[in-house]
């Protein structure tokens, strides 16, 4: 008879699973469990992440390991510089199995398809029982989303969101939405008024652990994009809670109305800046939504702000995750508009006279963050209308933002911004001319280009690119009822005007220098 393995349970915890009641930890006894956390070269370099993103993840992992140890758990933490580090999750779990001879390995499924593929090989690879547990830190499970999506002709966030409202009971008045409407987006598009300023969000000075990570990244990842000087992210649950407290007390009230506004040099405005903590697992999405609802009930924030915030989390965040797992792996290769142009060099250097893009890229470089409308309507819109290749745009977004994990980045980039999925997620491409940016920001006033000039020397490039985009995709877009009428405007222009637009766009596109690809991927 085979001897029963009485070894401990081995629980690998990944860098974005920093949650105290993670499914694999729940109900375990501390004295026969070894938690394994691994800093591995493969994860740190599969794209050349922004320096702040690596510091954030390593520092949050090290703090989390220290908290677990303080709470009495045994944590085996493998640092990147460990000379025996195998460089990959699979290699490190294999080494840990040799060290501990565990009776089983229990792991929560990975957030990203790439990593999940590796984990699914473990039962065959390792001579040890492996159990993969569902990640229940979301309101909707992947299976629930699949069921919702099945047999639907179109997948729209709005309808999924209503289901999530009913499921959570958030902002519900019986079976009706609070205030009579499901969605108050129409009240959330206020342009920034002169002198609009938001209170400063809490900034967390690097402690000793974070400083060690900063030094490590400065030395080992010197050729990665981004500045380390301004690293002020929350790296523990306590700090993330403080960041959330400040948001609810000081910025939620104006979050709704100014959600789409952009102000030069005011990088965060009234946004929560909580995505990094949410995605690491330091904050619970449902708890945040309940706090927002409480603020509404106590009369501290208006319904449009609270509904807007809740929609971003139980609507968009949940929806893109379900969409990702439904569409992988082909979403990575989707290119419905056959966009082939290389990403311009200035996305890495910020060296462009287009003030809107330069400011968003500066914020991205300095803070590893840009807010939603900057990502969607400035950076994303440019990539869409200039016809930049989805793979190159995906790599850029995955590299540059501290909150970027493929499950949330890819649907936003490929489907929401680039329409590369042919309209599965978005009902139309979010293409816009300079007019939109001018209305929603103060960028244009001091730009080298003139937003009111449509074509020729000194004209805002977004204007001609917009029509160039519409013209070159007419066959695909004209039948879309949300876009079709735009072609009547185009057709009403006289021929010379149309030629002017197309020539201006072509001349501009010729000036773009494609980026060196080594910025995004390991050579």
The site that binds ligand FAD (CB under 6 A) totals a number of residues, namely: 28
Residue 434 binds ligand SF4 (CB under 6 A): yes
How far lies 257's CA from each of 162, 321, 372, 442, in Å?
A: 21, 26, 14, 16
Angle, nearest 10°, between helix axes 461-472 and 495-510?
110
Instruction: CB nearer to ligand FAD: give 54 or 417.
Output: 417
User: 269 vs 135, 192, 195, CA distance in Å?
Assistant: 32, 10, 12
d(CA 303, CA 295): 10
Cβ proximity to ligand DLZ: between 39 and 421 the closer is 39
**Contact pick of 214, 431, 460, 477 for ligand SF4 (by CB under 6 A):** 460
Three-state SS string over 170-213 comes to: CCEECCEEHHHCCCCHHHCCCCCCCCCCCCCCCCCCCCHHHHHH
Residue 322 or 434 with smaller CB distance to ligand SF4? 434
Q: Is 115 in the site for ligand DLZ (CB under 6 A)?
A: yes
Listed in sequence order, the residues at least 6 apart from 57 whose beta carbon sits closer than 8 Å to its beta carbon are 15, 16, 280
Please choose, out of 33-41, 124-132, 208-216, 443-451, the segment that lies near ligand DLZ by the rule CB under 6 A: 33-41
* Binding range to ligand FAD, per CB under 6 A, among 200-208, 291-299, 307-315, 479-487: 307-315
Cα→Cα distances 55→18, 58, 59, 69, Å: 15, 5, 6, 21
Q: DSSP string spanning 121-142?
A: THHHHSSSEEEEE----SSS-H
Q: Is residue 164 classed as helix, strand or coil in its secondary structure?
A: helix
CB closer to ligand FAD, 40 vs 404: 404
The partner in contact with residue 323, picked from ligand DLZ, ligand FAD, ligand SF4, none with C-beta cut-offs of 5 to 8 angstroms by kind, is none
Please tell me whether residue 112 binds ligand DLZ under the rule CB under 6 A: yes
Give the H/E segment covering residue 105. strand 104-108
One residue of 64, 138, 231, 405 binding ligand DLZ per CB under 6 A: 405
| Residue 285 C-beta: closest distance to ligand FAD, Å | 7
For residue 116, CA distances in Å to 83, 166, 223, 423 come to 26, 30, 28, 27
Task: List the single partner that 39 binds among ligand SF4, ligand DLZ, ligand FAD, none, CB under 5 to 8 Å by kind.
Answer: ligand DLZ
Would you count residue 347 as binding ligand SF4 (CB under 6 A)? no
**Binds 376, which of ligand SF4, ligand DLZ, ligand FAD, none (CB < 5 to 8 A, cut-off by type)?**
ligand FAD
Backbone phi and psi for residue 262, each to the nearest 5 degrees, phi listed first: -135, 130
Residue 390 is a binding residue for ligand SF4 (CB under 6 A): no
**CA separation for the pair 169, 149 (Å, rounded):** 21
Q: How far is the CB of 396 from ligand SF4 (least distance, A)?
A: 18
Q: Using an 8 Å Cβ cutoff, are 390 and 426 in contact?
A: no
Q: How far apart are CA 293 and CA 46, in angstroms?
A: 39
Residue 432, phi then psi, degrees to nearest 5? -150, 150
Taking CB under 6 A as the rule, does residue 403 contact ligand DLZ?
no
Among ligand DLZ, ligand FAD, ligand SF4, none, partner that 372 touches (CB below 5 to 8 angstroms by kind):
ligand FAD
Positive or negative CA dihedral for 20, 25, 27, 32? Answer: negative
- Helix or strand holding residue 144 (H, E): helix 142-149
- Binding of ligand SF4 at residue 443 (CB under 6 A)? yes
CB of 340 to ligand SF4, least distance (A): 23
The closest residue (CB) to ligand DLZ is 15
Q: Is 409 in the site for ligand DLZ (CB under 6 A)?
A: no
Residue 462 interacts, among ligand SF4, ligand FAD, ligand DLZ, none and using kind-specific CB cut-offs from 5 to 8 Å, with: ligand SF4
Nearer to ligand SF4, 52 or 352 (CB): 352
Beta-bridged to residue 34, according to DSSP, are: 10, 74
Q: Whole-number minimum distance, CB 357 to ligand SF4, in Å?
A: 7
**Alpha carbon distance 515, 318 (integer Å):** 33
449 binds ligand SF4 (CB under 6 A): yes
SS3 388: strand
Any contact of residue 281 with ligand DLZ (CB under 6 A)? Answer: no
Give the nearest distance from C-beta 352 to ligand SF4 in angstroms: 8
Q: Please return the burial class of 276, using the count of CB atoms within 10 Å of its CB with bins 0-12, 13-18 and 19+.
A: buried
Binding of residue 375 to ligand FAD (CB under 6 A): yes
| Residue 355 near ligand SF4 by CB under 6 A | yes
Window 258 to 277, contacts with ligand FAD (CB under 6 A): 271-275
User: What is d(CA 341, CA 27) in angstroms, rounded to the nearest whole number?
Assistant: 52
Residues engaged in binding ligand FAD (CB under 6 A): 271-275, 278-279, 309, 312-313, 316-317, 320, 371-372, 375-376, 380, 397, 401, 403-404, 408-409, 412-413, 416-417
Residues engaged in binding ligand SF4 (CB under 6 A): 354-356, 434, 437-438, 443-444, 447, 449, 451, 460-462
Residues engaged in binding ligand DLZ (CB under 6 A): 14-16, 38-40, 43-44, 49, 54, 57, 110-112, 115, 405
């Amino acid at each position: 008879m085979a001897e029963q393995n009485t070894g401990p349970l081995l629980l690998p915890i990944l860098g974005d699973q920093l949650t105290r009641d993670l499914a694999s930890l729940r109900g375990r006894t501390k004295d026969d469990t070894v938690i394994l956390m691994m800093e591995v070269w493969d994860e740190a370099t599969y794209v050349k992440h922004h320096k702040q993103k690596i510091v954030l993840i390593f520092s949050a992992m090290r703090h989390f390991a220290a908290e677990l140890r303080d709470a009495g758990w045994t944590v085996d933490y493998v640092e990147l510089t460990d000379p025996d580090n195998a460089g990959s999750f699979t290699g490190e779990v294999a080494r840990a199995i040799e060290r501990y001879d565990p009776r089983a390995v229990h792991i929560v499924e990975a957030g990203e398809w790439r990593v999940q593929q590796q984990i699914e090989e473990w039962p065959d690879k390792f001579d040890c029982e492996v159990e993969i547990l569902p990640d229940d830190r979301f309101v909707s499970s992947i299976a629930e989303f699949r069921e919702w999506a099945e047999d639907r002709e179109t997948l729209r966030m709005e309808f999924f969101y209503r289901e999530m409202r009913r499921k959570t009971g958030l902002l519900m008045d019986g079976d009706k939405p609070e205030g009579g409407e499901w969605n108050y987006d129409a009240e959330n598009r206020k342009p920034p008024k002169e002198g609009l300023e938001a209170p400063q969000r809490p900034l967390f000075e690097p402690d000793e652990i974070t400083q060690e990570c900063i030094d490590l990244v400065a030395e080992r990842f010197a050729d990665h994009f981004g500045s380390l000087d301004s690293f002020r992210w929350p790296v523990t649950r306590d700090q993330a809670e403080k960041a959330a407290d400040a948001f609810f007390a000081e910025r939620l009230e104006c979050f709704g109305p100014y959600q789409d506004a952009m102000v030069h040099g005011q990088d965060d405005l009234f946004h929560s800046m909580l995505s990094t903590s949410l995605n690491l697992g330091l904050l619970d999405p449902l708890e945040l939504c309940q706090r927002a609802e409480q603020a509404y009930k106590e009369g501290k924030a208006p319904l449009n702000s609270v509904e807007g915030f809740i929609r971003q989390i139980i609507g968009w965040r949940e929806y893109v995750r379900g969409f990702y797992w439904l569409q992988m792996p082909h979403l990575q290769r989707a290119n419905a508009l056959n966009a082939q142009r290389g990403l311009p060099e200035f996305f890495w250097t910020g060296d462009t006279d287009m003030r809107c893009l330069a400011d968003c890229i500066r914020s991205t470089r300095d803070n590893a963050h840009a807010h939603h409308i900057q990502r969607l309507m400035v950076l994303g819109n440019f990539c869409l209308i200039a016809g930049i290749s989805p793979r190159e745009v995906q790599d850029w977004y995955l590299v540059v933002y501290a909150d970027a994990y493929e499950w949330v980045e890819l649907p936003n980039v490929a489907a929401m911004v680039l329409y590369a999925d042919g309209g599965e997620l978005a009902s139309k491409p979010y293409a816009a001319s300079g007019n939109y940016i001018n209305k929603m920001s103060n960028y244009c006033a001091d730009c080298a280009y003139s937003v009111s000039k449509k074509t020729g020397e000194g004209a805002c490039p977004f204007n001609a690119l917009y029509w160039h985009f519409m013209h070159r995709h007419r066959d695909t877009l004209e039948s879309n009822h949300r876009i079709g009428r735009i072609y009547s405007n185009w057709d009403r222009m006289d021929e010379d005007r149309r030629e002017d637009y197309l020539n201006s766009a072509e001349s501009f596109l010729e000036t773009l220098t494609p980026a060196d690809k080594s910025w995004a991927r390991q050579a």
